[in-house]
Amino acid sequence: MRMWNALLFVATLVGCAHQAWAQQHSHSAQPMVAQAPQTGVPPQPSASPPAAMAHGDMHAPTIFTLRSGIAQGRMVYLGVGGEIDGKVNPMLVVHEGEVVQINLINGEGAEHDIVVDQYAARSDRVLGIGASSTLAFTADKTGEFIYFCSIAGHREAGMEGRIQVTPGARATVATIAPEIVRDPTDLPAPIRARPPQIVRVDLETVELKGQLDDKTSYNFWTFNGKVPGPFVRVRVGDTVEVHLKNDETSLMYHSVDFHAATGPGGGAEFTQTEPGQEKVVTFRALVPGLFVYHCATPSVPHHITNGMYGLILVEPEGGLPQVDREFYVMQGELYTAKRFGMPGHQEMDYEKLISERPEYFLFNGAVGALTKSHPLRARPGETVRIFFGVGGPNFTSSFHVIGEIFDHVYEGASLGAMPITGVQTVSVPPGGATVVDFKIARPGRYVLVDHALSRIERGLAGYLLVDGPADDDLMHSGLAKR
């Protein structure tokens, strides 16, 4: 009995601490001032997204996180993140056909697990404070089902909740802010053969509240109102005349640094632009390649993380080999005050930024940008090219398309060298880029990821959808045909 009372006391303290984490103060930092939050809280595990990224996909499951604890004198599961945050034995609502992942965190040091009998799903047991485990299943049966702890006496002591599996696919959630996602098909056509010329590029820096996730918004800083900024396409030898206008409603100075340019700050020294003003910088495109551009106004990482990055392609003379489809994809991070998946408005956390502790990893600016909003699409037999870059500001990407092999990769986006062939994954540093192409040999859903795969659970996944039969000679369910 004494041991049980001691356990209750310790777990109650942990439960109180958890509630304090959920209610920590939100703040934002001005770009020139590094103000640390006053919480003193260590980095927390990723919280649950409020909705599935896709129907029935093992690479983008519906995720819930539960922490063991004590509430109202009982042993319970406490929801972590999203709409279940802080709730006791929360109802977990999923839809028919979704892949469900439940993360279990030990919050008070007693032995626990989590079981869903109807789906024959069971986690490992967790013994120490902070230890974690997961279980996963496909919700192919509708109705209400029980999840519980199978340790003797724990279910009876209160560790039991319900999973509701609703028939049909998940409905689209209403938007709460304008979409800032750059459509991956939004890029100019190839230049082909032409002599060098003067190319005018118009960029407008726009600060706006945009949709980050279902029921979540963020104040993005953008080039031309989208993340990433517009895809700029020139050829080697062109003279690039950049007109940078800072929207009159902006609060910040902004600028642009082109990695394709040779000169002070890539043009940033000439384009520090106050709200309502316009600056012009001109440079020669001397080297073929795919290059990042970004805002270079202090605090530079603050401007970049908020969405101020894009790509400029300098085609070699005569252009690139022809393909059927081209796509424009960039990866970035967001450092928000509240945990990943929390509904409402998110603000930037400067301490997390300079400590490199992002809450979100994103393709084209938002969770679900390339799954729900703008998946890539192609047909069997077509050749696909992806222009891929990392805005960052801090993390390298291990770019990979699950289910495909890159036929050609231009390492470091160097277009003056021969591409390498038969590549599975490409390492792209922040401020770097690559060009990959491959032929679609069969239908299917191919998943774009950073192969640092934990980042899927912080928002980083995209789809290339290719319609057609799921089984063929290249891959099919079951034994080899004889």
Q: What does the pLDDT read at residue 16?
A: 39
Give 467: exposed, middle or buried? Use CB within 10 Å, 0-12, 13-18, 19+. Answer: exposed
| CA–CA gap between residue 320 and residue 418 (Å, rounded) | 11
> What pLDDT score does 102 carry?
97
Contacts of 409 (CB under 8 A, 6+ apart): 419, 420, 421, 423, 426, 434, 435, 436
Q: Give residues with Cβ within 8 angstroms of 131, minimum separation 6.
A: 105, 106
β-strands 397-402, 444-450 pairing: antiparallel
Q: Are 413 and 289 in contact, with CB atoms under 8 Å apart?
A: yes
Q: Give Cα separations from 285 to 232, 234, 258, 418, 430 (angstroms).
A: 12, 8, 10, 20, 21
Asked if residue 343 has a cis previous peptide bond (ω within 30° of 0), the answer is no
User: What does pTM read for this prediction?
Assistant: 0.82
**3-state secondary structure labels for all residues of 152-183:** CCCCCCCCEEEEEEECCCCCCCCCCCCCCECC
End-to-end CA distance of the chain: 66
> How many residues comprise the chain?
482
Q: Give, for all 482 residues of the chain, the pLDDT tens digit.
A: 443 444 443 333 333 333 333 333 333 333 333 333 333 333 333 333 333 334 456 777 899 999 999 998 999 999 998 889 999 999 999 999 999 999 999 999 999 999 999 999 999 999 999 999 999 999 999 999 999 999 999 999 999 999 999 998 777 777 899 999 999 999 999 998 899 999 999 999 999 999 999 999 999 999 999 999 999 999 999 999 999 999 999 999 999 999 999 999 999 999 999 999 999 999 999 999 999 999 999 999 999 999 999 999 999 999 999 999 999 999 999 999 999 999 999 999 999 999 999 999 999 999 999 999 999 999 999 999 999 999 999 999 999 999 999 999 999 999 999 999 999 999 999 999 999 999 999 999 999 999 999 999 999 999 999 987 776 778 878 888 78
Residue whose tokens read 């599961």: 77
Structural tokens at position 243: 């007109």
Q: What is the pLDDT of residue 45?
A: 38
Dihedral class, residue 109 (left if φ above 0, else alpha if ψ from -120 to 50, else beta): left
Q: What is the pLDDT of residue 346?
A: 97
Q: Rounded to an integer, what distance in angstroms lies between the CA atom of residue 235 and that of residue 410?
A: 17
Q: What is the pLDDT of residue 56?
A: 59
Q: Is 221 helix (H, G, I), strand (E, B) or coil?
A: strand
pLDDT of residue 60: 76
User: In the prediction, which pLDDT does 27 show?
Assistant: 32
The dihedrals phi and psi of 375, each to the nearest 5 degrees, come to: -65, 150
What is the C-alpha to C-alpha distance for residues 434 and 386, in angstroms, rounded to an integer?
8
SS (H, E, C) 40-87: CCCCCCCCCCCCCCCCCCCCCCEEEEEEEEEECCEEEEEEECHHHCCC
Instruction: Specify the pLDDT at position 6.
Output: 41
| Integer Cα distance of 217 and 343 in angstroms | 8
pLDDT at 469: 74
